[in-house]
Amino acid sequence: MAMTADDFATQVTDALGPRLGSLLLYGSAARHPNEAAAAMNTLLLVRDGRAMESELVAKLAAPVRSWIAAGHPPPLMMTDQEWRESSDAFPIEYEDIREAHRLLAGRDPWSGIIVRREDLRRQLEHELMGKLMHLRQSFAAYWNDPKRLADVVRETQSSFLAMLRAALRLAGRKAPADPEALVRDAAALVGFPAATLAEPAAYLDAVTRTAEYVNRLERAPS
Protein backbone atom coordinates (compact mmCIF):
# COMPACT_ATOMS: atom_id res chain seq x y z
CA MET A 1 0.00 0.00 0.00
CA ALA A 2 1.42 3.39 -1.06
CA MET A 3 2.42 5.86 1.62
CA THR A 4 0.07 8.85 1.62
CA ALA A 5 0.76 12.40 2.73
CA ASP A 6 -1.42 11.75 5.78
CA ASP A 7 0.66 8.64 6.63
CA PHE A 8 3.78 10.77 6.44
CA ALA A 9 2.19 13.41 8.64
CA THR A 10 1.39 10.79 11.28
CA GLN A 11 4.95 9.48 11.28
CA VAL A 12 6.49 12.96 11.45
CA THR A 13 4.15 13.94 14.29
CA ASP A 14 5.11 10.81 16.23
CA ALA A 15 8.82 11.47 15.62
CA LEU A 16 8.83 15.13 16.63
CA GLY A 17 6.13 15.34 19.29
CA PRO A 18 5.90 18.91 20.67
CA ARG A 19 8.72 20.09 18.38
CA LEU A 20 6.41 19.83 15.34
CA GLY A 21 5.45 23.28 14.14
CA SER A 22 3.76 22.72 10.78
CA LEU A 23 3.80 20.18 7.98
CA LEU A 24 2.44 21.40 4.64
CA LEU A 25 1.79 19.71 1.33
CA TYR A 26 2.35 22.29 -1.39
CA GLY A 27 2.76 22.77 -5.11
CA SER A 28 1.14 20.71 -7.86
CA ALA A 29 -0.28 18.08 -5.47
CA ALA A 30 -2.14 20.82 -3.58
CA ARG A 31 -2.95 22.80 -6.73
CA HIS A 32 -4.23 19.72 -8.62
CA PRO A 33 -5.24 17.19 -5.92
CA ASN A 34 -6.90 14.83 -8.41
CA GLU A 35 -3.79 14.33 -10.54
CA ALA A 36 -2.07 11.10 -9.51
CA ALA A 37 1.26 12.15 -11.03
CA ALA A 38 1.47 15.48 -9.17
CA ALA A 39 4.67 15.94 -7.16
CA MET A 40 4.18 15.48 -3.41
CA ASN A 41 6.27 18.38 -2.13
CA THR A 42 6.25 19.04 1.62
CA LEU A 43 7.49 21.74 3.97
CA LEU A 44 8.29 20.92 7.60
CA LEU A 45 8.64 23.66 10.21
CA VAL A 46 10.14 22.79 13.60
CA ARG A 47 9.28 24.68 16.79
CA ASP A 48 11.61 26.12 19.40
CA GLY A 49 15.22 27.02 18.90
CA ARG A 50 17.07 28.69 16.08
CA ALA A 51 18.98 25.60 15.01
CA MET A 52 17.66 22.31 13.69
CA GLU A 53 20.11 20.20 15.66
CA SER A 54 21.43 16.84 14.44
CA GLU A 55 19.46 14.96 17.13
CA LEU A 56 16.23 16.29 15.64
CA VAL A 57 17.28 15.40 12.10
CA ALA A 58 18.07 11.87 13.33
CA LYS A 59 14.50 11.52 14.64
CA LEU A 60 13.20 12.42 11.18
CA ALA A 61 15.41 9.95 9.33
CA ALA A 62 13.02 6.98 9.47
CA PRO A 63 9.84 8.75 8.26
CA VAL A 64 11.76 10.70 5.61
CA ARG A 65 13.40 7.49 4.38
CA SER A 66 9.97 5.85 4.06
CA TRP A 67 8.60 8.90 2.26
CA ILE A 68 11.49 8.85 -0.24
CA ALA A 69 11.06 5.09 -0.75
CA ALA A 70 7.45 5.79 -1.71
CA GLY A 71 8.75 7.97 -4.55
CA HIS A 72 8.38 11.42 -2.99
CA PRO A 73 11.01 14.15 -2.55
CA PRO A 74 12.28 14.77 1.00
CA PRO A 75 10.64 17.71 2.77
CA LEU A 76 12.08 21.18 2.94
CA MET A 77 12.95 21.72 6.60
CA MET A 78 13.18 24.98 8.54
CA THR A 79 12.79 26.18 12.09
CA ASP A 80 9.90 28.51 12.91
CA GLN A 81 12.37 31.37 13.28
CA GLU A 82 14.00 30.68 9.92
CA TRP A 83 10.55 30.61 8.36
CA ARG A 84 9.58 33.97 9.86
CA GLU A 85 12.84 35.59 8.77
CA SER A 86 13.15 34.27 5.20
CA SER A 87 10.20 35.70 3.26
CA ASP A 88 12.56 38.32 1.81
CA ALA A 89 14.94 35.60 0.56
CA PHE A 90 12.32 33.32 -1.02
CA PRO A 91 9.33 35.51 -1.92
CA ILE A 92 8.40 33.54 -5.05
CA GLU A 93 8.38 30.27 -3.13
CA TYR A 94 6.47 31.75 -0.17
CA GLU A 95 3.69 33.11 -2.37
CA ASP A 96 3.52 29.89 -4.39
CA ILE A 97 3.22 27.81 -1.21
CA ARG A 98 0.71 30.22 0.34
CA GLU A 99 -1.46 30.04 -2.77
CA ALA A 100 -1.45 26.23 -3.08
CA HIS A 101 -0.99 24.24 0.11
CA ARG A 102 -2.72 21.83 2.48
CA LEU A 103 -1.92 21.75 6.19
CA LEU A 104 -1.12 18.13 7.06
CA ALA A 105 -0.17 18.59 10.72
CA GLY A 106 0.51 21.30 13.28
CA ARG A 107 -0.60 24.90 13.12
CA ASP A 108 -1.13 27.34 10.27
CA PRO A 109 2.25 29.05 9.69
CA TRP A 110 1.06 32.11 7.78
CA SER A 111 0.19 34.49 10.60
CA GLY A 112 2.43 37.56 10.34
CA ILE A 113 4.16 36.40 7.14
CA ILE A 114 4.41 39.32 4.70
CA VAL A 115 6.03 39.20 1.26
CA ARG A 116 7.13 42.63 0.02
CA ARG A 117 6.52 43.44 -3.62
CA GLU A 118 10.07 44.70 -4.11
CA ASP A 119 11.53 41.47 -2.73
CA LEU A 120 9.34 39.52 -5.14
CA ARG A 121 10.36 41.68 -8.09
CA ARG A 122 14.06 41.43 -7.21
CA GLN A 123 14.05 37.64 -6.90
CA LEU A 124 11.99 37.25 -10.06
CA GLU A 125 14.41 39.44 -12.02
CA HIS A 126 17.34 37.38 -10.71
CA GLU A 127 15.67 34.03 -11.47
CA LEU A 128 14.56 35.03 -14.96
CA MET A 129 17.95 36.39 -16.00
CA GLY A 130 19.69 33.29 -14.66
CA LYS A 131 17.23 31.04 -16.49
CA LEU A 132 17.65 33.04 -19.69
CA MET A 133 21.45 32.75 -19.57
CA HIS A 134 21.30 28.97 -19.07
CA LEU A 135 18.70 28.55 -21.82
CA ARG A 136 20.81 30.47 -24.31
CA GLN A 137 23.76 28.22 -23.49
CA SER A 138 21.66 25.11 -24.03
CA PHE A 139 20.03 26.39 -27.20
CA ALA A 140 23.39 27.31 -28.72
CA ALA A 141 24.79 23.88 -27.84
CA TYR A 142 21.79 21.87 -29.10
CA TRP A 143 20.30 24.08 -31.82
CA ASN A 144 20.62 21.29 -34.41
CA ASP A 145 19.24 18.63 -32.07
CA PRO A 146 15.43 19.14 -31.90
CA LYS A 147 14.93 16.25 -29.46
CA ARG A 148 17.45 17.65 -26.98
CA LEU A 149 15.94 21.13 -27.29
CA ALA A 150 12.49 19.69 -26.60
CA ASP A 151 13.94 18.00 -23.51
CA VAL A 152 15.36 21.35 -22.33
CA VAL A 153 11.93 22.97 -22.68
CA ARG A 154 10.21 20.12 -20.83
CA GLU A 155 12.78 20.02 -18.03
CA THR A 156 12.65 23.77 -17.36
CA GLN A 157 8.99 24.56 -18.01
CA SER A 158 7.68 24.00 -14.47
CA SER A 159 10.08 26.59 -13.05
CA PHE A 160 9.07 29.03 -15.80
CA LEU A 161 5.41 28.56 -14.89
CA ALA A 162 6.30 29.52 -11.30
CA MET A 163 7.93 32.68 -12.67
CA LEU A 164 4.83 33.47 -14.73
CA ARG A 165 2.70 33.13 -11.60
CA ALA A 166 5.02 35.58 -9.86
CA ALA A 167 4.83 38.02 -12.79
CA LEU A 168 1.04 38.00 -12.62
CA ARG A 169 1.15 38.63 -8.87
CA LEU A 170 3.48 41.58 -9.42
CA ALA A 171 0.87 43.01 -11.78
CA GLY A 172 -1.82 42.59 -9.12
CA ARG A 173 -3.51 39.74 -10.98
CA LYS A 174 -4.54 36.29 -9.81
CA ALA A 175 -2.45 33.42 -11.16
CA PRO A 176 -4.72 30.64 -12.51
CA ALA A 177 -4.07 27.11 -11.26
CA ASP A 178 -4.63 25.62 -14.72
CA PRO A 179 -1.32 25.74 -16.70
CA GLU A 180 -2.97 26.67 -20.01
CA ALA A 181 -4.93 29.50 -18.41
CA LEU A 182 -1.79 30.64 -16.58
CA VAL A 183 0.23 30.81 -19.82
CA ARG A 184 -2.63 32.55 -21.62
CA ASP A 185 -2.99 35.25 -18.95
CA ALA A 186 0.76 35.76 -18.61
CA ALA A 187 1.20 35.92 -22.39
CA ALA A 188 -1.43 38.64 -22.62
CA LEU A 189 0.31 40.59 -19.83
CA VAL A 190 3.89 40.21 -21.05
CA GLY A 191 3.36 40.03 -24.80
CA PHE A 192 4.29 36.64 -26.20
CA PRO A 193 2.18 34.10 -28.19
CA ALA A 194 0.80 31.58 -25.70
CA ALA A 195 -0.23 28.94 -28.23
CA THR A 196 3.33 28.13 -29.34
CA LEU A 197 5.07 27.89 -25.97
CA ALA A 198 5.93 24.20 -26.49
CA GLU A 199 8.03 25.10 -29.55
CA PRO A 200 11.65 25.72 -28.44
CA ALA A 201 12.28 29.01 -30.25
CA ALA A 202 8.94 30.41 -29.03
CA TYR A 203 9.74 29.23 -25.50
CA LEU A 204 13.07 31.05 -25.52
CA ASP A 205 11.32 34.17 -26.81
CA ALA A 206 8.71 33.93 -24.04
CA VAL A 207 11.40 33.75 -21.34
CA THR A 208 13.22 36.68 -22.96
CA ARG A 209 10.09 38.82 -23.09
CA THR A 210 9.15 37.96 -19.52
CA ALA A 211 12.62 38.97 -18.31
CA GLU A 212 12.34 42.25 -20.24
CA TYR A 213 8.89 42.89 -18.73
CA VAL A 214 10.10 42.38 -15.15
CA ASN A 215 13.22 44.47 -15.77
CA ARG A 216 11.03 47.36 -16.93
CA LEU A 217 8.80 47.30 -13.88
CA GLU A 218 9.06 50.41 -11.77
CA ARG A 219 10.61 49.67 -8.42
CA ALA A 220 7.81 50.14 -5.95
CA PRO A 221 8.51 51.55 -2.45
CA SER A 222 8.75 48.99 0.34
Q: Give the pLDDT score at 34.
A: 79
* In a domain? residue 141: yes
pLDDT, tens digit, for every residue of 104-123?
A: 999 999 999 999 999 999 99
Q: Residue 90's domain is classified under what CATH number?
A: 3.30.460
SS3 25: strand
Same-domain status, 139 and 210? yes
Stretch 13-21: mean pLDDT: 96
Are 141 and 100 in a shared domain? Answer: no
**93 & 180 share domain:** no
Q: Binning pLDDT at 50, 70 and 90, where does residue 222 land?
A: very low
Q: How many CB atoms lie within 10 A of CB 35?
A: 10
Q: Is the pLDDT of residue 219 over 60?
A: no
Q: Based on the fold, state whether residues 134 and 212 are members of the same structural domain.
A: yes
Residues 165 and 76 in one domain: no
Is residue 111 in some structural domain? Answer: no
| Cβ–Cβ under 8 Å, residues 132 and 58 | no
Specify whether 94 is located in the same domain as 124.
no
Do 81 and 157 share a domain, yes or no?
no
d(CA 104, CA 43): 10
**Tell me: the pLDDT tens digits for 22-78?**
999 999 899 888 777 678 999 999 997 666 788 899 999 999 999 999 999 999 999
In this structure, is residue 150 part of a structural domain? yes
- Of 104-108, 180-184, 192-196, least confident by mean pLDDT is 192-196
What proportion of the chain, given as a percentage, has pLDDT over 90?
85
- Average of pLDDT values for 207-212? 97
- What is the count of structural domains for the chain? 2
| Strand-pair category, 41-46 with 76-79 | parallel
Q: How far apart are alpha carbons 95 and 124 in whole angstroms?
A: 12
The contacts of residue 7 (CB under 8 Å, 6+ apart) are none
The domain in which residue 178 lies consists of 117-216
Domain-located, residue 222: no
Nearest in space to 1 (alpha carbons), one of 66, 65, 75: 66
pLDDT digits (tens, 9 = 90+) for 145-176: 999 999 999 999 999 999 999 999 999 999 99
Mean pLDDT of the chain: 93
Measured distance CA(31)–CA(202) in Å, rounded:
26
Asked if the model's pLDDT at residue 187 lies above 70, the reply is: yes
Judge if 122 and 78 occupy the same domain.
no
Three-class SS of 57-123: HHHHHHHHHHHHHCCCCCCEEEEHHHHHHCCCCCHHHHHHHHHCEEEEEECCCCCCCCCCHHHHHHH
